[in-house]
Structure 1
Amino acid sequence: MLLLLSAFSLMLLSPFVEGAGRLPAPLNDEVLGLIAFRSVLEDPLRALASWNEADATPCKWSHVECDAATARVVRLSLASLSLSGPLPRGLDRLAALESLTLAGNNLSGPIPPGLSLIPSLRSLDLSRNAFSGRLPDDLALLPSIRSFDLSFNSLAGPIPDTLFSSSAAGATSGSLRYLSLAGNRFEGPLPSTLPQCSFLLQLNLSDNKLSGTPDFVNGIWPLSRLRVLDLSRNSFSGPIPDGIDNLPNLKDLRMSHNQFSGAVPAGVGLCPHLDSLDLSFNSFEGRLPDSIGQLSSLTFLSLSNNQLSGEVPAWLANLTAVEHLDLSNNKFTGALPASIGELKNLNHLSLSNNMLTGAIPDAVAECTKLSELRLKGNRLSGSIPQGLFNLGLEVLDLSSNELTGAMPPGSTRISETLHSLDLSANQLTGALPPEMASYFSLRYLNLSWNELRTPLQPAFGLFRYLAVLDLRNSKLYGTIPGDLCESGSLSVLQLDENDLSGPIPEEIGNCSSLYLLSLSRNNLNGSIPAPMAELRKLEILKLEFNNLSGEIPQSLGYLDNLLVVNISHNRLIGRLPVGGLFQSLDGSALQGNLGLCTPLVMEPCKMNVPKPLVLDPDLYAHGNGSNMVTVDGATNPIVVHRRKFLSVSSMVAISAALVIASGVLVITLLNMSARRRIVQLENALESKCSSSTGSAVPAAVGKMVVFGPKSDLKSDDMVGSAEALLAKATEVGRGVFGTVYRASIGDGRLIAIKKIHGTNTLQYHDDFDREVRILGKVKHPNLMPVRGYYWTPQLQLLISDYAPHGSADSRLHESTLESTPPFSWPDRLKVVIGTAKGLAHLHQAFRPPIIHYNLKPTNILLDENGNPMVTDFGLARLLPKLEKHMASGRFQSSMGYMAPELACQSLRVNEKCDVYGFGVLILELVTGRKPVECRDDDVVILIDQVRLLLEQGNALDCIDARMGEFPEEEVLPVLKLGLVCASQIPSSRPSMAEVVQILQVIKTPVLERMEAF
């Protein structure tokens, strides 16, 4: 209202102002236009604070640039200022505006009409926002536009033909030089009017849903001035028709991740200025056209993931400028041509996963600038050329071939640069060269599945940054060196299926970064070293099929992150560690030992304890003043005084009785003290119970229990405000199982109180106490701990920590504040991995396993660092005692998350139900869409939609564009994992422990994917 009054006042006063020779009217219009523009925007950084409607001109405002001669606004640069809201009006008053940049903000809603009213606009950049809807028709009327960038928004629908129409005088097509619509959701064919943009130099339509027949490019070939063409990551299909040679100025051609088929067009070699060509991830077949050998300016060539065949052409040597050459994942045959050595500028060479044979030519070492060489998955034979280890390689992958001989010694140059070395699955023999000790930069080393037949050398401990060491099945012998973990960076150590002997070194505790330790199927002996308990990050421990003996250190029970343990087929005895995963291991992980004390192993239980002294009572009658003492089966004379002593077993029993009695007394005193401290809180809760139930019958006496003793929530924390605890509680959410309140305790901390719904539930306190105490034992970084409970027959409450940072659901679907950063892929992957670890702990650490059963984004809370905290777990234990209408209602509340086998009458709740829900959770996090969406005339099931797109090769179409840039090599495997977990057949779903391992493989650099190095 104030803005309208100001505008109205200025309109009334403008004749007088002009008459006084002060501010010209057009400048007032610009001030008013920009103030109107700013008034609609949210500006959390106060980037536009200098915009003052009282100023006579906006030329001194921040982010505003005026023409020095006319004092008119010509440039408005508002990029990356965290502005949000719809795109406002008002800019049409800037008659001289030439450049408008709003990139990298949080602007949303449709692009409004009216931009065409700025006749002088030459550059418009609205990229990297959240604009949605269709393009307005009047954008075609921008008469002076040269650069037009709408990339990375959520615009949808077909690209209108009118956008490039030249029917109107001075329309867009006559002046346009740069156009980017990348990273949106445009669909359908290319507009028929595109050829009218005859001056277009750069066209980027990548990352959309555009499609077309084989003749789709006929609208592009007439654009003879075109220099950059990017059609990658769309759904174009069919063979590419002739005519690409009509683009003589083309420098960059990207058409990857489509469904093109047929032969690679020969005309591509007739674009003499081409320096980048990417046709990867299509279905091209046949031989490469010889014309590509004429592209002497080509620096980037990627034809990977097609069906190209024939021999690798010798004319590749003509591409003297090429730096990146990728022909991987095709069907090339024959030998690797020695002419590749002519490529002196080559930096990246990949011919992995073809059918190449013969030896690696020595000439490859003549590519002196080579930093990545990938020849994995061929049939190459012979020895490894010495010259390769004289280069400055960062990545060398020769795995899964038929190479023989010894590993060559390395030069000083490679020792300074090499990050990743994979020679696995070959037939290499001999000792490792001593020069390897100087590979200080090495992070990934895989020599598994070879015939090395050499001792395990201590030089591995010198690798300062080594994260992964894989030496499985390599015929290694000798002992494990103690200095293997001196660097402290090792996270994966795999020495399985060798001939290693001796004990596991005590120094294994120095491997503080280990999360996978696998020493199975060797000849290791001795006991499991106690320092292994220092491996706090350890998740997978495999020691099966060795000769380990003695008792398992009890301290291993404190390894909270353990998800997989296998100690079967050793000689272990005694008790299993009390805590952690060990008490829930199944028989297959324990069998084949001498005497573990567990009902899962049938062998007799043995304890490794000293034998006691045994006095022979028959010798007392001899009266000779001495007796015989049996020690470990040997009889020895000792002097015994004639005084009546208690037996050893009696003294032990008396001591134990005294200890137990003392403990009972101490616990009784502590309980009496705790009851006195929480009596006020119980009264307050009972008062709340009476008021909430509305019953005239006096409520039964309530019982408050706070779990401890290690809990940081104490009864006396709440004593000061016990009477007002629930009276001041604020409701924060409702579900079928209950209502959640936020309440403050004595020291100002917030807690969450869940009031369980139901009128006939849990009539007996002992039942409730037993089930909830099991939940109270759950301790894991990704599980919200249950701190305590309150019980009466009329009211049951669960107490836990309060999470002020919201849930994954609100972060994914309700995050509209401008101050909230985008829900990026790393943030989403953190939720996926953390949730998987939490569920795996519930399934593995308890017997019977704790089933979540109600997994969904609203039950995954986030801490200040975005780490997930799974809540509401274990309520399936209460399900048999709940009312039927609540069970059915619960299915409805988790629409799309209920495993299909639960639709029948018998509720077979097990771990596989959680795995199904976790799979749906992955799909929701990756796509940003609900599992079930009800539209006007249809119901869309997310699982079916994602599976269909994946089968069609269009999986990228379902990725949530709001998370910005993402690594495709992570997102797609995670998406596929979600579909596997959400299989309709329960037996086809992996366990959560296996899911965690798979996610670690996807997330951890260099495990099968060494590109990260």
Structure 2
Amino acid sequence: MRNLAFYLASLLLFCPLLAKSGSPALNDDVLGLIVFKADILDPLSKLASWNEDEDDPCGWTGVKCHAKTNRVTELSLVGFSLSGKIGRGLLQLQSIQKLYLSKNNFSGSLNPKLSQLESLRVVDLSENNLSGVIPDEFFGQCRSLRSLSLANNAFSGHIPPSLGSCLTLAALNLSSNRLSGSLPEGLWSLYGLRSLDLSSNSLVGQIPGGISRLYNLRSISLRQNRLSGRLPDDMGSCLLLKYLDFSVNFLTGSLPDSMHRLSMCSHLRLASNLFSGEVPTWIGEMKNLEFLDLSRNWFSGRVPESIGKLQLLKSLDLSRNRLTGGLPESIGACRSLTDLDLSGNSLTGNLPSWVFELKLQRISVSGNKMSGCISVGVSTTSDPTLSYLDLSGNAFSGAIPLVLGNLLSLQQLNLSGNLLSGSIPASILALETVEVLDLSRNLINGSIPLEIGKAVSLKELRLEKNSLAGEIPVQIGNCSSLTTMILSQNNLTGPLPPTLSNLTNLYKVDLSFNRLSGNLPKQLSNLPHLLSFNISHNLFSGDLPAGNFFNTISPSSLSDNPGLCGSVVNRSCPTVLPKPIVLNPNSSTSSADTSLSSKNSRHKKIIFSISAFIAIGAAAVIALGVITITILNMRVRASTDPHSAAALALSDGYYSNSPSTDANSGKLVMFSGSDPNFSARAHAILNKDCELGRGGFGTVYKTILRDGRPVVIKKLTVSSLVKSQEDFEREVKKLGKPRHSNLVALEGYYWTQSLQLLIYEFVSGGSLYKHLHECSTSNPFSWQQRFDIILGIARSIAYLHRLNIIHYNLKSSNILIDGSGEAKVGDYGLAKLLPMLDRYVLSSKIQSALGYMAPEFACRMVKITEKCDVYGFGVLLLEIITGRRPVEYMEDDVVVLCDVVRVALEEGRVDELVDGRIGGKFPAEEAVPVVKLGLICTSQVPSNRPGMNEVVSILEMIRCPQEHLEDEST
């Protein structure tokens, strides 16, 4: 086939005259398609019908021809799993009008001659692996192209300036690529353009004026770029515009008044920008609006009454702004409204009756200052459609309405953080549709209703910080979907129901600060997904369940239970001995023994006394023997244990570069090829005096090489879990390859079956954690130093990701500062040394990274990817900027840094976020986007987090925006 393809390609190159007559022209299409096929792989044999021996391709799969000329007019191979390059064979299809190759695995660059085909009208190459820059001549020579989609590929570089020459374009989609630079000036010259999608790229700069020239424009999306500045004043001149999405950018200022002329617009999405001022009253003039999203901006003032004029409005999202005042009654006129989100503002007043009368599907007014009773009319439940209700974080009071139990479609109910009192309505717990029920942080009393057993779909139950009493119902064992159960800080009593062991999906349980008692059911050890089980500050007693999670449970999760025993709580359990046999000397079995009773009684007492003496003596001898043997074993182990200093003698050839297989000597490898001997004697290595610290994976020591260079030795504490030398060495050698100025270099390693050491370069300046949280305030990091540290960390993680290395354990204590103030990232990739570990063991090894761990660590079914590092980096960024720890434990609360930063940013208090030790000496134009970047990196959804290469680019742009623009324009 390859030789045939070469021959055919030669024909196409040197015999162009074949296309001048009817039948040879038909062969020209056949030859072109066969050459195209020869350049690709067809794993599913979708193109099996393409036969080079045929003269007519019109019956081939995916091919359509003109009815009269039999020339190929359309090629549609969508979703065929084809791969390879889109070759020049297609250039022979001189009559082709439509080319659909989307949803395949094509790679390589875009052929600039493709657009020269005179008849070509539609090209869709979306959802492939095409890369490189878009050739400037592709647009400069396009003749009749009306629709082009290159979406979801890997194109990079600028959008070619020649785009403005492709005047026939009506639809252009370049979304989800890696395009950079500013919008080309010629973009607004495409007068026939009806649809424009440049979303999910890295475009920068302002949106240029002149968009009013696109009088045919119906849809425009610039979502998720880095565009800045104000919207063009002529934005409202595109009178036919129906869809506008500029979300997730850095756009500022107020909305242009001209936008009120967009009366045809049905979708207006401007979320996650920096818009300010009041929500304009003219918004009510956009009568065709169905979706209005102004969330996550800095809009202030009241919610305009004019919104009530939007009769077609289906979704209204004004969340995460700085809106004040009450909810206008006029919104009750929006009879089409199904989704309402006003959360994260400063709204006051009562909850209007229309909130429940509009038959909404989703309601959220959380995080405001609303008060009063929650009033739900009986008519609300006549046609129940509400599936999501979030009134949390307000000051609502009174009882929980009973009629909420009639909302038969309700899936999530969050009333937490209010002043609600009374008992939990049994009707709510009886709802079979509820998946999340959060009534925490209220004044609720009474007991947990037995009807909870009917909540078969319940996944998350949060009732903490109330005044609940009574026992945990055994019926809770019927909630087979339950994954999270938080009942802490109540007055619950009684034992744990053994039916908890039926909840095989549980991964988080918190029963702390109650008065629960009794033994823990042994069957709890069978729960396969358990990651957290906190029963501290209760009255539990007895031994812990054995095995699985409970072998590594944190002692803090068990504290203040005086009756608990076992090695974890450092309290021995009482030995259970068989009940002694006690004979009554006065008893008799027959009258004949009566006369001997007195004598036998005395004799038996003597015998029992002697037996007691013998038993006590035997016990003492056994105990002494056990102690003696233990001491001897310890001495023997001390003399032979490879952990001992003697086993670590690095002189006399004990450590060698040669791959020794002697179990007594081990194997030492130095990646630099330097002399492996150490100048320190054996007693100085792994000596307590040389210990620098302890981490999740091991203890760290300092020693000196023979050439006088200091190094750090990490003794892995998980040696018993590492069984394969081959796997260990393969991963360590992979970790020894990275060389980056912001990485702590791995110099070598030492291996035995029971001991593994990693040898790192020594960094003198101490950890970032120490500088941020433990050092004096006399010489704190400046803004410039903090920015440099953040950028250095970002560059090193991006470098690791390019090498397919995930850090797994990113936190400030693993970032070292060298003598020049440069950040160096350490402990990267160590989790890969433990291939046999499951998700829980991994997370328990890095539990000290609490606050840095991405939420997907809690789900066993989700693959851990580079986006977990991005989350940890985001937390680390915010920690460096604020000088605060990721999680801070107060007397009666837990403060999460990401939440604090998010609220402060939304309220415009960035100056309060930056570490006060800087003294206000920082540029606000850098602080705001840096903080915003940190929050984007800590998104709960992994796909919403940027890649680390993108993070580096954003940081570099923030540091020198003008220089960045100039660099990209050259």
Query: TM-score of the superposition, structure 2-length normalised?
Result: 0.63
- Aligned equivalents of 2:759, 2:938: Cα separation in 1: 30
Query: In the alignment, is residue 156 of structure 1 matched against residue 156 of structure 2?
Result: no
Maintained 8 Å contact 2:395/2:418: yes
Paired position in structure 2 for 1:36: 35
What displacement does 1:531 show? 0.9
Q: Cα RMSD over matched residues? A: 5.2
- Aligned equivalents of 2:128, 2:548: Cα separation in 1: 47
Equivalences for residues 351-750 of structure 1 within 5 A: 351-410=318-377, 411-412=379-380, 416-601=384-569, 615=582
What displacement does 1:119 show? 4.5
| Cα distance, 1:901–1:505 mapped onto 2, change above 3 Å | farther
Query: In the alignment, is residue 930 of structure 1 matched against residue 804 of structure 2?
Result: yes
Q: Secondary structure at the match of 1:179?
A: strand
Q: Secondary structure at the match of 1:429?
A: strand
- Aligned equivalents of 1:479, 1:116: Cα separation in 2: 72
Counterpart code for 1:205: L
- Equivalent of residue 307 in structure 2, options 340, 348, 352: 340
What displacement does 1:368 show? 0.9
Maintained 8 Å contact 1:980/1:988: no
Counterpart code for 1:35: I
Q: Highest relative contact order (Cα 8 Å, sep 6+), 1 or 2?
A: 1
Q: Secondary structure at the match of 1:430?
A: strand
> How big is each residue's C-alpha offset from its partner over 1:806-839, in whole Å with a ceiling of 9 and x where there is no partner?
xxxxxxxxxxxxxxxxxxxxxxxxxxxxxxxxxx
What displacement does 1:67 show? 2.2
Paired position in structure 2 for 1:204: 173
Maintained 8 Å contact 1:377/1:401: yes
- Aligned equivalents of 1:542, 1:626: Cα separation in 2: 64
Q: Secondary structure at the match of 2:40?
A: coil
Maintained 8 Å contact 1:573/1:606: no
Paired position in structure 1 for 2:672: none
Maintained 8 Å contact 2:290/2:315: yes
Maintained 8 Å contact 2:736/2:748: no
| Cα distance, 1:416–1:176 mapped onto 2, change above 3 Å | same
- Equivalent of residue 236 in structure 2, options 256, 269, 278: 269
- Aligned equivalents of 1:974, 1:467: Cα separation in 2: 26
Maintained 8 Å contact 2:123/2:148: no
- Aligned equivalents of 1:414, 1:1002: Cα separation in 2: 36
Query: In the alignment, is residue 892 of structure 1 matched against residue 861 of structure 2?
Result: no
| Cα distance, 1:616–1:641 mapped onto 2, change above 3 Å | closer
Q: Secondary structure at the match of 2:422?
A: coil
Maintained 8 Å contact 1:203/1:230: yes
| Cα distance, 1:310–1:981 mapped onto 2, change above 3 Å | closer
What displacement does 1:618 show? 8.8
What displacement does 1:886 show? 9.5
What displacement does 1:357 show? 1.5
Counterpart code for 2:152: G
Paired position in structure 2 for 1:859: none
Q: Secondary structure at the match of 1:557?
A: helix
What displacement does 1:66 show? 2.3
Q: How many positions carry a matched residue from both structures?
A: 707
After the TM superposition, which of the residue ranges 368-377 and 584-593 deviates more from structure 2? 584-593
- Aligned equivalents of 1:447, 1:925: Cα separation in 2: 45
What displacement does 1:540 show? 1.0
- Aligned equivalents of 1:471, 1:1001: Cα separation in 2: 25
- Equivalent of residue 662 in structure 2, options 743, 751, 760: 760
Paired position in structure 2 for 1:84: 83
Query: In the alignment, is residue 305 of structure 1 matched against residue 272 of structure 2?
Result: yes
- Equivalent of residue 259 in structure 1, options 211, 226, 229: 226
What displacement does 1:902 show? 6.6
What displacement does 1:105 show? 1.8
What displacement does 1:265 show? 2.1
Equivalences for residues 905-944 of structure 1 within 5 A: 907=758, 930-931=804-805
Maintained 8 Å contact 1:924/1:930: no
- Aligned equivalents of 1:106, 1:195: Cα separation in 2: 29
What displacement does 1:892 show? 2.0
Unaligned runs of 5+ in 2: 595-599, 619-657, 667-693, 700-715, 750-756, 761-766, 768-792, 808-822, 829-863, 889-894, 900-936, 944-970
- Aligned equivalents of 1:616, 1:566: Cα separation in 2: 47
Counterpart code for 1:540: K
After the TM superposition, which of the residue ranges 467-476 and 72-81 deviates more from structure 2? 72-81
> How big is each residue's C-alpha offset from its partner over 1:733-775, in whole Å with a ceiling of 9 and x where there is no partner?
xxxxxxxxxxxxxxxxxxxxxxx975122689xxxxxxxxxxx
- Aligned equivalents of 1:413, 1:850: Cα separation in 2: 53
Maintained 8 Å contact 2:127/2:151: no
Paired position in structure 1 for 2:920: none
- Aligned equivalents of 2:253, 2:723: Cα separation in 1: 61
Paired position in structure 2 for 1:60: 59
Paired position in structure 1 for 2:891: none
Query: In the alignment, is residue 1002 of structure 1 matched against residue 940 of structure 2?
Result: yes
What displacement does 1:230 show? 2.6
- Aligned equivalents of 1:408, 1:229: Cα separation in 2: 46
- Aligned equivalents of 2:727, 2:99: Cα separation in 1: 61
Paired position in structure 2 for 1:781: none
- Aligned equivalents of 2:739, 2:456: Cα separation in 1: 46
Query: TM-score of the superposition, structure 1-length normalised?
Result: 0.61
> How big is each residue's C-alpha offset from its partner over 1:883-941, in whole Å with a ceiling of 9 and x where there is no partner?
999997474268899984976998599xx9xxxxxx99x978997763499xxxxxxx9
Maintained 8 Å contact 1:499/1:523: yes
Maintained 8 Å contact 2:248/2:271: yes
Paired position in structure 2 for 1:717: none
- Aligned equivalents of 2:938, 2:194: Cα separation in 1: 42
Paired position in structure 2 for 1:322: 289
Counterpart code for 2:479: C
| Cα distance, 1:584–1:198 mapped onto 2, change above 3 Å | closer
Paired position in structure 2 for 1:810: none
What displacement does 1:231 show? 3.0
Counterpart code for 2:123: L
After the TM superposition, which of the residue ranges 506-515 and 198-207 deviates more from structure 2? 198-207
Counterpart code for 2:138: L
What displacement does 1:587 show? 2.6
Maintained 8 Å contact 1:75/1:98: yes
Equivalences for residues 96-111 of structure 1 within 5 A: 96-111=95-110
Query: In the alignment, is residue 247 of structure 1 matched against residue 220 of structure 2?
Result: no
Counterpart code for 2:83: S
- Aligned equivalents of 2:512, 2:217: Cα separation in 1: 61
Maintained 8 Å contact 2:539/2:561: yes
After the TM superposition, which of the residue ranges 611-620 and 508-517 deviates more from structure 2? 611-620
- Aligned equivalents of 1:250, 1:884: Cα separation in 2: 59
Percent pairwise identity: 37
Counterpart code for 1:759: T
- Aligned equivalents of 1:61, 1:304: Cα separation in 2: 47
Paired position in structure 2 for 1:331: 298
Counterpart code for 1:761: A
